[in-house]
Amino acid sequence: MSSLPLRVCHECDLVSAVPPLACSESARCPRCQHELMARKRAPAQQSLALAIAAVVALVTSLAFPFISFSARGIERAISLTDAVAILSTGNYTLLAVVLWMVLLLLPMLYLGMVIVIHTALLLDRRPPRGMLMLRTLRHIEHWMMADVFLIGVLVSLVKILSLASIGFGVSFWAFCLFVVLMLLITRSVDRDWLWQVMAPEPTPPAHATTGRTAVSQKLAGCPVCGTVNDYHHHEPCYCRRCGEKLHMRRRHSVQKTLALLVVSVLLYIPAMVLPIMTVSSLNETTTQTVIGGVLLLLDHGDYPIAAIIFLASVVIPVAKLLALFWLCIKVGRPQPWRPEVRMTLYRITEFIGRWSMIDVFVVALLAALVQLGVLMHVSAEPGIIAFGAVVILTMIAAMSFDPRLIWDAADHADLEYDVSDKNDPEHDNISTFSLQPVVAGKAQDMGQ
């Protein structure tokens, strides 16, 4: 058995040995190319600096006017907190709660934990509740949508440019900086290094063998800290390093995914049929559906924005529903042909799902910003609640689906993944030679 650390791929279940990594290198699964481990340069200092800068940018974006606009001699400016407050005082408190969670509460929680953990480690101390915080970091990343909200802001501005003059406050530029910093932070946190410092990795089970699936060896890899654990079917199993509950396969994964997809389809019908917002002025009152808003943008000649809304609100949700339905059906019909194609489809589906929230943020911002009494007034309508529910449910559906089932279907036909003779004395090091750390987008062979 190789002395190198072992990892179980969370997307295809292959057990691999990870070679030593230098800064800015990563190791990927030799079967599905999922990233198993990555090394960051000066991880504590870099993450701490970025997190502090992001907190400053976020606080600045809340303290000053975000956007101002003037129409017919009346000027109005709002901050991000004003936007949430206006929505919460109306009939759409749920919309305000979603906005508050994804823009403020979850990012602040994430940044606070990053700062506490890395500050304690730099002071050579163990952070309080450090293991719990590390587990929490992984679970809330998917739900931070500051970047999606920023795109929604830009789309909103295009929609009201024909109605008013737009001005950008200090908070707008601070929020743009905050979005960039958040993207950098999520890439700079070196979780494997953090776990190694806080709780050194225990020795893998003696019977663990590289080049085979974990399920065939009654093993389970921890999705949080990466530790390889023995798995016992007759009792609940928890990671011996971080305490996370382990699942050899997610329980009733396909059934849960299908149930969420069916509910999403049922909600998608009212989301498309019901109006998502009403625009009132002195001359007229108009209601807009998702498709109606796209057609209105086309009439005004805003073709790029119309394409973005159509893509985010129609194409992506439908494509995601069809893709997940197709994957659920295929994993129940063992067919070994090209599982990597299905894996790529799943990754794309999981990545693009959150971008459908653009239309929700557009309506929320317009409803908060355009409040000029009888002169002009925008209000959210029930359709946007249904549409937001569709986006959230499809995101949960993608998370509920276990991608390892894709490879189980391929392995069902006795296509056990192996790239060398098991009788070869170097078989135990198979994954060591197969894994290739990636440097600047290029594979570099680590050799022996």
pLDDT given at position 115:
93
Q: Report how far residue 23's alpha carbon sits from residue 271's, in angstroms, rounded to the nearest whole number.
A: 47
Q: Report how far residue 120's alpha carbon sits from residue 63's, in angstroms, rounded to the nearest whole number.
A: 29
The yes-or-no verdict on residue 166 having pLDDT over 60 is yes
Task: Write down the residue that tokens 């509740």 correspond to.
Answer: 129
Q: Worst-scoring range by mean pLDDT, 54-63, 273-282, 398-407?
A: 273-282
The yes-or-no verdict on residue 253 having pLDDT over 50 is yes
Closest of 370, 341, 212, 348 to residue 277, by C-alpha: 370
| Mean pLDDT calculated for residue range 80-102 | 77
Q: Report how far residue 11's alpha carbon sits from residue 8's, in angstroms, rounded to the nearest whole number.
A: 9
Confidence of residue 441 (pLDDT cuts 50, 70, 90): very low
Q: Report how far residue 331's alpha carbon sits from residue 403's, in angstroms, rounded to the nearest whole number.
A: 9
Residues 195/57, Cβ–Cβ less than 8 Å: no
The yes-or-no verdict on residue 373 having pLDDT over 70 is no
Q: Worst-scoring range by mean pLDDT, 33-47, 115-129, 289-303, 360-374?
A: 360-374
Greatest mean pLDDT among 118-127, 147-156, 181-190, 258-267:
258-267
| Mean pLDDT calculated for residue range 256-263 | 94
Which CATH code for domain 251-413?
1.20.140
Confidence of residue 444 (pLDDT cuts 50, 70, 90): very low
* H runs (alpha helix) in 170-275: 170-188, 191-198, 253-273
Confidence of residue 337 (pLDDT cuts 50, 70, 90): low
β pairing state of 219-221 and 228-230: antiparallel
Residues 248/370, Cβ–Cβ less than 8 Å: no
pLDDT given at position 430:
33
| Mean pLDDT calculated for residue range 52-79 | 82
Closest of 314, 286, 269 to residue 159, by C-alpha: 286
Contacts 24+ apart (CB under 8 A), 79-87: 79/169, 79/171, 80/104, 80/171, 80/175, 82/368, 83/364, 83/365, 83/368, 83/369, 84/368, 86/367, 86/368, 86/371, 87/364, 87/367, 87/368, 87/380
Residues 358/313, Cβ–Cβ less than 8 Å: yes
Closest of 84, 111, 115 to residue 178, by C-alpha: 111
**Which amino acid, one-letter code, is at 436?**
Q
Closest of 203, 206, 200, 201 to residue 218, by C-alpha: 206
Q: What is the pTM of this model?
A: 0.81
* Polymer length of the chain: 448
CATH 1.20.140 domain position(s) in the chain: 251-413
The yes-or-no verdict on residue 374 having pLDDT over 60 is no
pLDDT given at position 423:
38
Percent of residues, the chain, with pLDDT higher than 90: 16
